[in-house]
Amino acid sequence: MYLLIFFLASYYDIKYMRVPNWIWLLAIPFAALTIYSHTQNPPPTTTAIDFMLISPLILYFYHADYMGGADLKALIFATIFWPTLILYAFVASYFLAAPLKLKKNNVGIPYLPFLTGGIGLAIVIDFLLFSQ
């Protein structure tokens, strides 16, 4: 279900270069359920540590104009949904998007679809490497 929210946000990012706030409002109940379910696995300290590791990177890329507000909100929710995978997803999405991040006609290329792809890639790799 979480990936559907990111696919919907990516669709809006590609089509309109803007993601409506109602998509992130839709994600809040799922984030609350995820936080509740993470009280046991992974431990809340893992979630907090991962969030502290990714936060400086998120803020740097936001202030360097590599991403916009929708991308920032997406990364915050992705950190809640997949706390142990978000750092890998963020790095993967950056390397997917970096060659294409050149501005075309002074319009930036949407980053959110690359983030969604990075999250999907991180989930697939995690499943392949660590599922028994």
Picking from 6, 3, 29, 34, the residue whose alpha carbon sits closest to that of residue 19 is: 6
Q: What is the pTM of this model?
A: 0.70
pLDDT at 79: 75
Q: Enumerate residue ranges in the chain where pLDDT < 70.
A: 1, 35-47, 50, 83-84, 87, 94-108, 131-132
Give me the count of residues in the chain. Answer: 132
One-character DSSP codes across 86-112: HHHHHHHHHHHHGGG-S-BTTBPPPSH
Q: Please give the C-alpha separations between residue 44 and each of 35, 39, 41, in angstroms, as whole numbers.
A: 8, 6, 8
Q: Give CA–CA dist 130/132, Å, rounded.
A: 6
The predicted-structure confidence for 104-122, as pLDDT tens digits, reads as follows 445 567 778 888 888 888 7
